[in-house]
Structure 1
Amino acid sequence: MPTDPALLAVVAVALVFAFTNGFHDAANSIATSISTRALTPRVAVVMAACMNLLGAFLGEGVARTISQNIIAPPPGHPGLMVLFAALCGAIAWNVFTWYRGMPSSASHALVGGMLGAALVSAATVDWGGVGTSFLIPMLVSPLMGALLGYLLMLAILWGFRNARPRSVGRKFRLAQSVSAAAMALGNGLQDAQKTMGIVVLALVTTGYQQSYDVPTWAIVGAAVAMSLGTATGGWRIMRTLGHRVIQLDAPKGFAAEATVSLIMGATSFIWHVPVSSTHIITSAIVGVGSTRRLSAVRWGVAGDIVVIWLLTVPSAALIAAGVYGLLYLM
């Protein structure tokens, strides 16, 4: 465990980011299950927190991408200032969007903060890495979510076309317990690693360690902080995802959650790129709702969500740049 006060400050703020990430992603992973009454709120939150904790221990690929492929801060305390400002930008945007009850990407806020702080400092931005590890996944993953959600829901409608609706609803409420757990596991696998990546980058920047391996204490810290954030819930965002975009039932909720679980598993274990569970679950819900009729989707709400998506990176970047400027003047 490091002892440098500046390094400890960055680690502490990284854990605060993990906490805010947790209460954002609690909404993503359990909103559909709660809205369809597959799980009670208390059971859903406890389950999500436990699965977030477990998922954090299952890999390091995304953490390495965050620490190696986005920015290269200058060595020593100037680099810590860049990371501190980046985290502040991400946290501020997370809190703002939570207060507004709008689902946004904590992952994109983090990368936006990193870019904003890097551009106003002496840090190097790896634009090739930003393109392949962030920009392309950011654009492609929501499209995949909408398409896979649509196709999976079509398969469910066709496969259960002759079944009684009440029986189908009961079966899929049980199935949602599994799909919600799998999605919460994916959240831990993806999002806890982003905090780990920042911690590792801080350790390498200060020379505390030479490799980009994630130390055990960083894994535990990120996992616990995110799980605690999840346990607080994200009720404002849950209402938006669970009721305001479309009216969900158990089969639709299962299709959306299963879609997210598949995409997050592939991006974590195969491609090692950070993606947004917020973007994927929202687009999957839209895709699932479109199988009945396009008018089933409340496109006004969906449009507001897209606006928040587009504002996330530049807003977090501007906040981070401002924080870095203040630190530089102090």
Structure 2
Amino acid sequence: MEFAAIVVVIIVALGFDYTNGFHDAANAIATSVSTRALAPRTALIMAAVMNLVGAFLGTAVATTVGSGIIDAPVGIPGLVVVLAALLGAIFWNLVTWYFGLPSSSSHALIGGLVGAGLASAGTVKWSGVLDKVIIPMVISPIVGFVLAGLVMLALLWIFRNGRPSRLSRGFRHAQTVSAAAMALGHGLQDAQKTMGVIVLALVVGGFHQGFEVPWWVILLSAGALSAGTYSGGWRIMRTLGRRIIDLDPPRGFAAEATASAVLYTTAFAFAAPISTTQTITSSILGVGATKRLSAVRWGVAGNIVVAWVLTIPMAALAAALAFWLIHPLVT
């Protein structure tokens, strides 16, 4: 019974990872595609490859997700908790993808874990949620906005005497590098979240000791995320690349470079599962504000912020409902 249940949970976890890939593909490449630095299909291939590479660069975030959010009961009850968490996260990913809102897959997963944990009367590690999720969730967009604005102002000053046409061509080439860096950071952050959930399921199912991530979990998570990224995510890509602000290559480069730096810092220095979506969106807003405040479509930005605020509670509610539906069937 446990073996069949763990197989189901792993398959659903990889399904979440796939939705994470196509939901968040825009994070890495929307700016490069919108400025015509990269052709859409070329950008997707590059992002998929870099997601795959990034997934092998560390497991600290996976440990945070697997051991720092909830204490799930052992056996079938624990596997039901993990399954419900994944279903809640998948539900919210699909809803926000349908409406073209760049919400956080990471926070959907965290919300799913919290909701399923509460529904099962399990232990939610609120200190871990606060330190590793809520505080970074608030700080990282602010850092992205401010830092991206400062980077853009520095670029404007450094190249103040440059010819616009030459600068535009140069920054289009530079965006190839910054988009690759962003995709690498996405793989580093987001693949690890699925790894953490799979390891949590293995532990509560009695198939693994400790929270060290097995190589095959890394491989499966990386592959599912890359496959999802390659499949696209055009609805959200239009929102990030065109609806918030009309980006030019220098601003696209500044946004991507800033967002990738924030992703690397939080993953390696703090093991915090931050949102790639929030990071790149706030960076785009930051570089847009340097043009003029009216250049940013603040109404669209407001809708995105509403989706950010709703993500954890709505995913939690969906996960709790999933738990209440599934639990009677297996007990």
User: Which category of TM-score, normalised to the shorter sequence, fits these structures?
Assistant: over 0.9
Contact in 2 for aligned 1:290/1:297 (Cα 8 Å): yes
> Structure 1: 5+ residue runs without aligned partners?
none
In structure 2, the partner of 1:84 is 83
Per-residue CA deviation, residues 190-228 of structure 1 (Å, 9 max, x unaligned), is 000000000010111112111111011100000000000
Cα distance in 1 for residues equivalent to 2:246 and 2:166: 19
Does residue 169 of structure 1 match 2:168? yes
Report the AA paired with residue 64 of structure 1. T
| 1:226-241 pair list within 5 angstroms | 226-241=225-240
Contact in 1 for aligned 2:5/2:79 (Cα 8 Å): yes
Deviation for aligned residue 1:5: 0.4
In structure 1, the partner of 2:323 is 324
In structure 1, the partner of 2:7 is 8
In structure 2, the partner of 1:109 is 108
Cα distance in 1 for residues equivalent to 2:264 and 2:85: 27
Deviation for aligned residue 1:25: 1.7
Cα distance in 2 for residues equivalent to 1:257 and 1:227: 19
Per-residue CA deviation, residues 65-104 of structure 1 (Å, 9 max, x unaligned), is 0011100100111000000000000001101111111100
Per-residue CA deviation, residues 120-150 of structure 1 (Å, 9 max, x unaligned), is 1032111111111111111100001101110
Deviation for aligned residue 1:3: 7.8
Give the % identical residues. Answer: 60
Cα distance in 2 for residues equivalent to 1:103 and 1:295: 21
Report the AA paired with residue 145 of structure 1. G
Per-residue CA deviation, residues 221-261 of structure 1 (Å, 9 max, x unaligned), is 00000000000011000100000000100000000000111
Scaled by the length of structure 2, what TM-score is found? 0.98
Cα distance in 1 for residues equivalent to 2:247 and 2:270: 31
Contact in 1 for aligned 2:2/2:75 (Cα 8 Å): no
Contact in 1 for aligned 2:195/2:213 (Cα 8 Å): yes
Cα distance in 1 for residues equivalent to 2:210 and 2:311: 31
Per-residue CA deviation, residues 166-210 of structure 1 (Å, 9 max, x unaligned), is 011011000000000000000000000000000010111112111
In structure 1, the partner of 2:189 is 190
Contact in 2 for aligned 1:72/1:124 (Cα 8 Å): yes
Per-residue CA deviation, residues 252-279 of structure 1 (Å, 9 max, x unaligned), is 0000000111000001111111000100
| 1:27-106 pair list within 5 angstroms | 27-106=26-105
Q: Give the SS at the match of 1:4.
A: helix
Cα distance in 2 for residues equivalent to 1:100 and 1:128: 33
> Structure 2: 5+ residue runs without aligned partners?
none
Cα distance in 1 for residues equivalent to 2:267 and 2:309: 24
In structure 2, the partner of 1:155 is 154
| 1:107-146 pair list within 5 angstroms | 107-146=106-145
Contact in 1 for aligned 2:2/2:76 (Cα 8 Å): no
Contact in 2 for aligned 1:20/1:91 (Cα 8 Å): yes
Contact in 2 for aligned 1:15/1:221 (Cα 8 Å): yes
Aligned length, in residue pairs: 329
Contact in 2 for aligned 1:65/1:272 (Cα 8 Å): yes
Cα distance in 2 for residues equivalent to 1:127 and 1:3: 28
Tell me which stretches of 4 or more aligned residues in structure 1 moved more than 2 Å. Answer: none
In structure 2, the partner of 1:278 is 277
Per-residue CA deviation, residues 4-46 of structure 1 (Å, 9 max, x unaligned), is 0001111110000100000122111000000000000011000
Does residue 315 of structure 1 match 2:287? no
Contact in 1 for aligned 2:2/2:205 (Cα 8 Å): no
Report the AA paired with residue 260 of structure 1. A
Scaled by the length of structure 1, what TM-score is found? 0.98
